[in-house]
Amino acid sequence: MAVSPHSFPPRKRRPSAAAFVSPNFSAQALLDSLLCLCQEISAMKPLHFLLNRYSNSMIRKSRLLEVILEDFRRDRIVSLSASASLCLEEMYIVLQRIKTLIEDCSNGSKMWLLTQNESIANNFHELTLDLSTLLDIFPVKDAGLTEDVEELFYLLRNHCSESSAFVDPRDEDLRFRVLKTIDRIRDEIVPDYTELSEIFSRIDLRDSSSCREEIENLEDEVQNQTDEKSRSDVIALIGFVRYAKCVLYGASTPESGFQRKDSISDLALPADFRCPISLDLMHDPVVVATGHTYDRAAITLWIESGHNTCPKTGQTLAHTDLIPNRALKNLIAMWCRQERIPFDVTESNKGGINGVTLNKAALEAMRMTASFLVNKLATPLDSVNDANGVVYELRVLAKTDSGSRGFIAQAGALPLLVRHLISDDPTLQVNAVTTVLNLSILEANKSLIMETDGALIGVIEVLRSGATWEAKGNAAATIFSLSSVHSYRRRLGRKTRVIRGLLDLAKDGPINSKRDALVTILTLAGDRETVGRLIEGGVMETVSHVMNSLPEEAVTILEMVVRKGGFVAIASAFNLIKKLGTVLREGSDRARESAAAALVTMCRQGGSDMVTELASMAGIERVIWEMMGSGTMRGRRKAASLLRILRRWAAGLDRNGGVGGGDLTMVSSSRMVGDSTTIVSPSSGAIVNS
C-alpha cells in the first residue's frame, strides 16, 4: 500500500494551561482539588470503540484513587510532609492531563482518532507510567490510611505498572482499511460500497447527521495542526467522509433544529466581516488605496482581471498595493472562535480550504463527490425533498473552495440547477440560487453561467419574483459576482428586469438583502449606459428610501450616479441635497466623504439652484468646516472644495444685493490671497489656507 501507517503525524493534544502548572494550594485545598478532579474523571464515559480499554482503565484507576484520597483526608486536619505534598502536586498535573486527553478523544473526530490510534495509545501509556511513578514514591506509610485502603493503594500501584502500550489489533485493522481506501481514492479508484459501509458502521458513523458532525470535528481538527502536510491530510479525510455520507446515506438537508457551526451562511455574519466582492467571510482582509477592505484572494483576482478601480466606490486606484488589515483579521478570528467556525490565521492565502493546499486524495474525493451528486440530480428523483437534499449538498460543497466549484461545474451541474431556480418549493429555490452564487465565485464559471441556457434568466426571475427574501438577495449577489467581468456588467445593465429587481429589493427587502442589492447597483453604475437606465428606473427614490438605514451604501451610489450620469442625474438628485447635508453632519467618515463628493459634483455642474439649496441648511458652513479638520483625506479635500463653492456663491450674491452675510458667517471674514483663500474659522478665529 502506498500510504504508510505513519503518514499521519502524531495528533496534537490540547490540554488546558492548568494541566502544566503546579497548583499553589494549601494541604487541605490540594486534597480537595485532587478529589474533585478524580470525581470528574470517574463520571466520564469511556470511549465507545477506539481506545476503549485505555479510557476504561483510566476511569477505574481514578475511582480507586478517589477512595484513597477520601480516606486520607477523613475527619482530621491534613498535614503533609514535603515529599507527600510534592507527589500530590505532580499527581494533580497528571490527572489534569488524563482528563484533558479523554475529553479530547471523546469530543473530537472519530476518523482522525483512528488514524492517530497508536500515538494516542502511547500517550495514555505514558500517563499511566507517570501515575505509577508517583504512587511508587508516595510515602504511603506516613499517610495514616486504614488497612483496607492501604491494600487498595498497592493494588492501584500494581495496575499502573504496565510494561508496554496496548494497541487493539481490530482498531489497527480498521485503520489500515481506511488508509487503503484513501489511497485508492488518490489513484482515482471509486471505493467499494460494501467496504465503505463496513468502515463507517464500525466507526459508528451510521447516518447523515453523525457524518455531518464528523465533518465539523475534522474541520476543527484542521486548525489544531501546525504543519501543512497534516492539515492537508485532515482535509483528505473531510473529503472522504463527505463522499461516503452522500453515497451511503444519501444527500440530505439538516434536520429541524440542527445548525452547522461551521456554516457561515447560516449565521448572522457581521457586515464588516464580509468581503464586498465574494460576499463571503474574509480570511485575509487587506486595504486598497481607497481605504476599503476586501479579502486578499478576491481583490487580487479583481486586479489581475484588468480592473484598476475600487469595486465598492468605482474610484481609480492610485496604486495596487494591498495593506493587511490585521486589526480586522483579529476581530474576525475572535468571532469565529466564539461561533466555532474554522478560521485560518496564517498571513498568506494559499488557496484550498482555509488556506491549506489540497493533496491528490482530497481533490479526488471532492471530484467523486461532485460527480456523484450531479449524476444523482440528473436522474429522476422521487420527491422535491430528494431533489432539495442533493441541491443542498451541492450548495455546501460549492462553498468549500475553488476546486469544488470547478468540479461541480465540470460535472454539468448548471443545466440541472436551472430547472430548480423556478421551483415552487421555497427551500429548493434558495438552495439552487445559492449554489449558482457559490459557483459564480470561480472566475472560470462566470462564462458558463452566462452561456448556459436559462441560467441567467432563472437568476433574474428569482431576483424579481423569488419566494423568499433570502433567494432574492442571493440572486442579487450572483448578479454582482457576474458583473465583476466588464462585458457582463454592461450586458446585465441593459436588462430592465435586472435594474427593476435590484431597485425593488433595495427598497423593500430586509437589511441584508438591501445591502446585497445596493452593492450590485453600485457595480452596475460603473457603466455610463447603465446609469441612465438606473435613473429611469428610479434609483434616486431608492437611494432616498435607504439613506437612513444604509447611509454609506446609499451616498456611495449617489456619488457614482451623479458623476457618471451628467446633468440628468444631477437634476434628479436635487431633492436629496438636504439629506446629503444631514449625512455630512451625522454620518460616518466614509459616508461623509461620499456625500461631500456628490455635493461637489452637483454644485459645480448643476448651477446656482443646487448651491442655494445647500446653503439654505442651517449651520452647513460649520459642518463643512469641521469636516475639513477630520475624516478621510479625500473627505477633507472634498469639504474644502465645497466650502470654496459656497463662498464664491455667497460673494456673488453679496455683489448682487443677495442674502449678504446670511448663514455663511465666514464669508465676511474671508479674503482672496493669490490663488489660495485665507479663511477665519467662525468658531475659533484660527486662520487656515485652503
How would you label 448-462 residue by residue, b for 16+ Cβ within 10 Å and e otherwise?
Answer: bbbebeebbebbbbb
For cell 489489533, the residue is 169
**How do residues 473-500 score in pLDDT, each as one tens digit?**
999 999 988 988 888 999 999 999 999 9
Same domain, 28 and 82: yes
Whether residue 334 is contained in a domain is answered as: yes
- Is the model's pLDDT at 669 over the cut of 50? no
Same domain, 102 and 23: yes
Q: What is the pLDDT of residue 372?
A: 94
Same domain, 28 and 150: yes
Domain holding 312: CATH number? Answer: 3.30.40.10
Same domain, 180 and 317: no
Whether residue 425 is contained in a domain is answered as: no
User: Nearest to residue 127, comparing CAs of 105, 97, 157?
Assistant: 97
CA dihedral 410, 415, 416, 421 (to 10 degrees): 130
Whether residue 616 is contained in a domain is answered as: no
The rounded distance, in Å, linking the Cα atoms of 560 and 522 is 7
How many other CB atoms are there within 10 angstroms of residue 618's CB atom?
A: 9
Q: What is the pLDDT of residue 662?
A: 37
The rounded distance, in Å, linking the Cα atoms of 117 and 51 is 7
**How do residues 244-261 score in pLDDT, each as one tens digit?**
999 998 877 665 433 333
Average of per-residue pLDDT across 75-83: 67
Give the chain's domain count.
3
**Which range marks the domain in which residue 316 is found?**
284-339
Whether residue 677 is contained in a domain is answered as: no
Last residue of a domain, which of 142, 167, 192?
A: 167
The rounded distance, in Å, linking the Cα atoms of 351 and 23 is 44
Same domain, 185 and 319: no
- Is the model's pLDDT at 94 over the cut of 60? yes
The rounded distance, in Å, linking the Cα atoms of 499 and 464 is 10
- Is the model's pLDDT at 679 over the cut of 50? no
Average of per-residue pLDDT across 205-212: 90
Average of per-residue pLDDT across 216-243: 85
Residue 138 DSSP SS3? coil
Same domain, 160 and 26: yes
- Report residue 320's pLDDT band, with 50, 70 and 90 as the boundaries: confident
Average of per-residue pLDDT across 365-374: 93
- Is the model's pLDDT at 689 over the cut of 50? no
The rounded distance, in Å, linking the Cα atoms of 679 and 688 is 5
Whether residue 418 is contained in a domain is answered as: no
> pLDDT over 70 for what percent of the chain?
84
- Report residue 1's pLDDT band, with 50, 70 and 90 as the boundaries: very low
Same domain, 129 and 180: no
Same domain, 117 and 182: no
What are the angstrom distances between the C-alpha of 343 and each of 267, 319, 322, 519?
15, 29, 21, 25
Output the DSSP codes for 141-163. Answer: GGTT--HHHHHHHHHHHHHT--S
**How do residues 263-296 score in pLDDT, each as one tens digit?**
344 456 677 888 887 667 888 899 998 888 998 8
Q: What is the pLDDT of residue 353?
A: 54
For cell 438628485, the residue is 573
**How do residues 589-635 score in pLDDT, each as one tens digit?**
888 999 999 999 999 998 888 999 998 988 888 999 989 888 788 88
Output the DSSP codes for 593-660. Answer: HHHHHHHHHHHHHH-HHHHHHHHTSTTHHHHHHHHHTSS-HHHHHHHHHHHHHHHHHHHHHHHTT-ST
Q: Are 51 and 120 in contact (CB under 8 A)?
A: yes
Whether residue 471 is contained in a domain is answered as: no
Q: What is the pLDDT of residue 330?
A: 80
User: In which order are the strands placed within the sheet that holds 323-324?
Assistant: 293-295, 285-287, 323-324
Same domain, 48 and 141: yes
- Report residue 220's pLDDT band, with 50, 70 and 90 as the boundaries: confident
Last residue of a domain, which of 295, 324, 339?
A: 339
Whether residue 367 is contained in a domain is answered as: no
Q: Are 467 and 503 in contact (CB under 8 A)?
A: no
Whether residue 385 is contained in a domain is answered as: no
Last residue of a domain, which of 305, 339, 373?
A: 339
pTM: 0.74
Same domain, 28 and 111: yes
Q: Is the dihedral of CA 452, 453, 459, 460 positive or negative?
A: positive
What are the angstrom distances between the C-alpha of 474 and each of 367, 421, 425, 517?
25, 12, 16, 9
Q: What is the DSSP letter of 308?
A: -
Q: Is the dihedral of CA 127, 130, 136, 138 positive or negative?
A: negative
What are the angstrom distances between the C-alpha of 397 and each of 246, 421, 431, 436?
11, 18, 12, 12
User: Nearest to residue 275, comparing CAs of 350, 314, 325?
Assistant: 325
Residue 570 DSSP SS3? helix
* 22-36, 59-73, 408-422, range with the lowest pLDDT: 22-36
Same domain, 157 and 176: no
The rounded distance, in Å, linking the Cα atoms of 202 and 113 is 13
Average of per-residue pLDDT across 185-201: 92
Amino acid residing at 40:
E
- Out of 139-148, 212-221, 409-418, 627-636, give the one with best mean pLDDT: 409-418
- The contacts found for 172-175 with CB under 8 angstroms, 24 or more apart, are 172/117, 172/118, 174/114, 174/199, 174/202, 174/203, 175/5, 175/114, 175/115, 175/117
Same domain, 21 and 122: yes
Cell triple for residue 239? Answer: 473529503
